[in-house]
Amino acid sequence: MTRREVGVGMLASATLAVAPIAATAQEPGSRPLPPPDKVGGMPLLAALQLRHSTREYSAQPLSAQTLSDLLWAAFGINRPSGDRTAPYWRHVMVIDVYAAMSDGVWLYDPSAHALVPHLPDDIRAQTGLQDFVAAAPLKLIYVAHGERMTDISPEERRLYASVDTGFIGQNVYLFCASVGLATVFRAAVDYPKLARAMKLPAEQFVTFAQTVGYPRA
């Protein structure tokens, strides 16, 4: 499955309300993630008690299992219908989650639960305007497919894409609180610069970014 087909599959699933969740052939170079641990972590109310933003990170990378669990919690598939751990506007799959790490930028493919290579470059420092941004091992970059949001104004596109992203961001916050990771959701982003660094087509736009890592001791 090519990256484009991943996107088309998501669009088709939105239209048909049935997602292609059967095992999918993976694009060459894609990195399968270990199956997510769906029963771990702490009770929800305890995680809510601990949720907060962090702006001091160590460089310690996340294990493959932790990355898998994080991405599934963020916006993975949680039902046979192919729907997700976060709600989304009009049942149209608008948001893609990218992971920017030291070894490049990867697109999270929830159907295959895998990372699809997007860029080989380390663009972490370009994902935000604050000093801590470069140090942390993982930046989630939320990208909206504006072209999938038909019949609404550009302002509404931005609004609904932002709300979709906010739900995902809160999933990330609660997952991080639950397993001792640190995170902060970020709007302080040079959006044109990041779109260029990510080589996004004109109809796609970054909504927010979110740093994830371990807190600096």
> Which residue ranges make up the site for ligand FMN (CB under 6 A)?
52-53, 55, 130, 184-188
Residue 84 or 186: the one with the smaller Cβ distance to ligand FMN is 186
Which of 33, 177 has the CB closer to ligand FMN?
A: 177
Tell me the C-alpha distance between 210 and 75, whole Å: 14
Minimum CB distance to ligand FMN, residue 186 (Å) = 4
CB of 39 to ligand FMN, least distance (A): 27
Minimum CB–partner distance for residue 211 and ligand FMN (Å): 8
**Least Å from the CB of residue 59 to ligand FMN:** 19
Record the tokens describing residue 50, joined without a space: 């601990």
The string over 121-136, giving b where at least 16 C-beta atoms fall within 10 Å of a residue's C-beta and e elsewhere, is: eebbebbbeeebbbeb
Strand partners, 104: 101
The secondary element (H helix, E strand) that includes residue 100 is strand 95-101
- Work out the number of other CB atoms within 10 angstroms of the CB of residue 72: 23
C-beta nearest to ligand FMN: residue: 188
The maximal CA–CA distance of the chain, rounded, in angstroms, is: 49
Shortest Cβ distance from residue 55 to ligand FMN (Å)? 5
State how far the Cα of 49 lies from the Cα of 47, in Å rounded to an integer: 5
Which of 82, 205 has the CB closer to ligand FMN? 205
Give whichever of 99 and 184 is closer to ligand FMN, judged by the CB atom: 184
Q: Which is nearer to ligand FMN, 88 or 185 (CB)?
A: 185
